[in-house]
Amino acid sequence: MWGKEIGTRATRLCILGGSIRQWPSRRRPDATRLDIDFDMIHDVPSSLGDRMIQIYDTTLRDGTQREGISLSCDDKLRIARRLDGLGVSFIEGGWPGSNPKDAEFFERARDVSWQTARIAAFGSTCRVNGGPEDDANIRALLDARTPVCTVVGKTWTLHVTDVLRTTLDDNLRIIEKSLAYLREQGRRVVYDAEHFFDGHRADPAYALETLKAAIRGGAETLVLCDTNGGSLPWQIGEVVAVVKAALKHPLGIHAHNDGECAVANSLAAVHEGAIQVQGTINGYGERCGNANLCSIIPALELKMSVRCVPEGQLRTLYEVSHFVAEVTNLVPDEHLAYVGKSAFAHKGGIHVAAMRRNAVSYQHVEPELVGNQMRVVVSELSGRGNLLSKAEELGLSLEGKHGAADVLNEIKALEAKGFSFEAAEASVAMMMKRQEPGYKAPFELIDFLVNVEHRSGRGIFAEAMVKVKVDGEVLHTAAEGDGPVDALDTALRKALLPRYPEIAQLHLSDYKVRILDSSNGAAAVTRVLIDTQKGSRLWSTVGASTNIIEASWRALVDSVEYGLTIAA
């Protein structure tokens, strides 16, 4: 005999011997007992925690409805494997009745050995005035041969009469019959009650009747959907509590983010007893997106003390977030909570000074718990602590009474002229390196000259001359390039290559230009950011000037010097 209690407030669910029984709580002496097959609720052992929240991921279905996302079947399988590794309970692979690609996914997914997740196929109730036996959508769900089918049905009277154009009674019929038919075919069924919160506001009694129809049809979980995304957390919590008390059946939440409350709404639903949360990685989804699982999962585990992924897997969340962004070909939002690169980045001098004494002072959780890390950003807002922390991070020293102060003053002066060091940490590192006693730069600039010409029969081309001093010897070289910066880069490398063969491993991977004060026209200050790569290592440097060639040269010199010294 084994058992754990799950649930909150008005009811308690007690797992005993492979079944779930809902017993009366002290707060509701009139509550009735409800027996539910354990396999319909959880696929996890009770040893994972007193409460286990099911994470139902719909990135591959609802997430792909975001503008700009289009995934191949291979992409979907790669993401699904990563989600399975994270430990989600369900992976919704798509709508098999909507397109051949989703049907292919389900076919190929059957050959994968899934470790933690159950694959779910998504579809709608059967047609009005018809039955599920000959319905093409229901047949597509069965043909997907997934262990779980998720069926969406109408809750809001407006949708029943104006969208489906049927009667309220017929809507109840198709909900019950559709689910019952799938259950008869051996499928687990999750019911998504579309627009539930809008429907409950319009007609609470009818909204509950739709859920009762789903229960009669055999739904294991009733998922209350805030489809338009306009509800507020206290509204969600109030309705979930009412439904839970009225139906005493496992509930879930599916929230959209149109009011920027999807995460808060999902947590409010769990607080009131929901056992399943549907959402997407990085909050991808139609319009403003879905509830972001990358915020919900750590909030549940770290803030609400409920388990939702296997032990140890929370630390992979940062990697999962960035992996999904890469596969979807979207730039990661580095300001996302928990998983953004900036989520634990500290810029203000007062903040960093406090952090050096106690990391808890400006961090609500340890970044390592979600696979992230604390960073210190250096800028004109920095204090001495920023420089000391950055030096420690880079393995550099700022010895001497004025070492950190000198670098800090230089940064503030340069940022006043248009430099920005937040995204150019290699330039900051070089300032620190040059402060080290006995440091000798690998080269010293004497002169450079750049010409851009147009010649008949050849068109536009650039030529650069560079004169540098290395170990007391003056080296004078010239080179052509596709543009002035390319010509400068080529000429500098040509001069240094005999003394520093490793320079051949450095590659300029990106070049960005920003005009800072466009109102000054051609006299505007130009900021240049250069990304350089050596193998898998990448660094960025910055330069700024009213002359774009000078700005580029400063960024280029920092980049090459960093590569020959710190990144050597």
Handedness of CA 503, 506, 512, 517 (dihedral sign): negative
For every residue of 132-191, DSSP letters joined together read GGG-HHHHHHHHTT-SEEEEEEE-SHHIIIIII-S-HHHHHHHHHHHHHHHHHTT-EEEE
Task: Return d(Cα 318, Cα 338) in angstroms, integer.
Answer: 8
Domain annotation for the chain: domains and CATH numbers: 1-39 (no CATH), 51-327 (3.20.20.70), 345-435 (no CATH), 444-564 (3.30.160.270)
By C-alpha distance, which of 362, 416, 407 is closest to 384? Answer: 407
pLDDT score of 521 = 56
DSSP symbol at 33: P
Q: Would you say 106 and 135 are in contact if contact means Cβ atoms under 8 Å apart?
A: no
Residues 6+ apart with CB under 8 A from 26: none
Q: Would you say 422 and 411 are in contact if contact means Cβ atoms under 8 Å apart?
A: no
Task: Return d(Cα 267, Cα 275) in angstroms, integer.
Answer: 11
Element (H, E) at 106: helix 100-109
For every residue of 423-463, DSSP letters joined together read T-HHHHHHHHHHHSTT---S-EEEEEEEEEEEETTTEEEEE
Residue 334's Cβ-side half-sphere holds a number of Cα atoms within 13 Å equal to 8
Task: Return d(Cα 378, Cα 389) in angstroms, integer.
Answer: 10
The token pair at 34 is 């409800």
Ranges of H-type helices in 272-348 = 293-298, 317-327
In tens digits, the chain (568 residues) has pLDDT values of: 233 333 333 333 333 333 333 323 323 333 333 333 333 333 433 333 456 899 999 999 999 999 989 999 999 999 999 999 999 999 999 999 778 889 999 999 999 999 999 999 999 999 998 899 999 999 999 999 999 999 999 999 999 999 989 999 999 999 999 999 999 999 999 999 999 999 999 999 999 999 999 999 999 999 999 999 999 999 999 999 999 999 999 999 999 999 999 999 999 999 999 999 999 999 999 999 999 999 999 999 999 999 999 999 999 999 999 999 988 988 889 899 999 988 877 665 666 566 666 777 778 899 899 998 877 665 444 444 555 555 556 565 555 544 555 656 656 666 666 565 555 677 777 777 777 777 788 888 888 898 888 777 777 888 999 998 888 888 889 888 888 888 888 999 898 998 899 989 988 888 887 776 655 555 567 778 888 888 888 888 888 777 788 888 888 888 888 888 877 7
Task: Return d(Cα 69, Cα 92) in angstroms, integer.
Answer: 16
Task: Return d(Cα 326, Cα 512) in angstroms, integer.
Answer: 21
Q: Would you say 122 and 65 are in contact if contact means Cβ atoms under 8 Å apart?
A: no
3-class SS of residue 562: helix
Cα three-residue angle 322-324-326, rounded to 5 degrees:
70
By C-alpha distance, which of 270, 268, 267 is closest to 234? Answer: 268
pLDDT score of 135 = 94
pLDDT score of 408 = 61
pTM: 0.68
Q: Identify the residue whose tokens are 């590569």.
A: 563
The token pair at 474 is 């003056």
For every residue of 175-242, DSSP letters joined together read HHHHHHHHHHTT-EEEEEEETHHHHHHH-HHHHHHHHHHHHHHT-SEEEEEETT----HHHHHHHHHH
- How many Cβ atoms from other residues are within 10 Å of residue 536's Cβ? 5
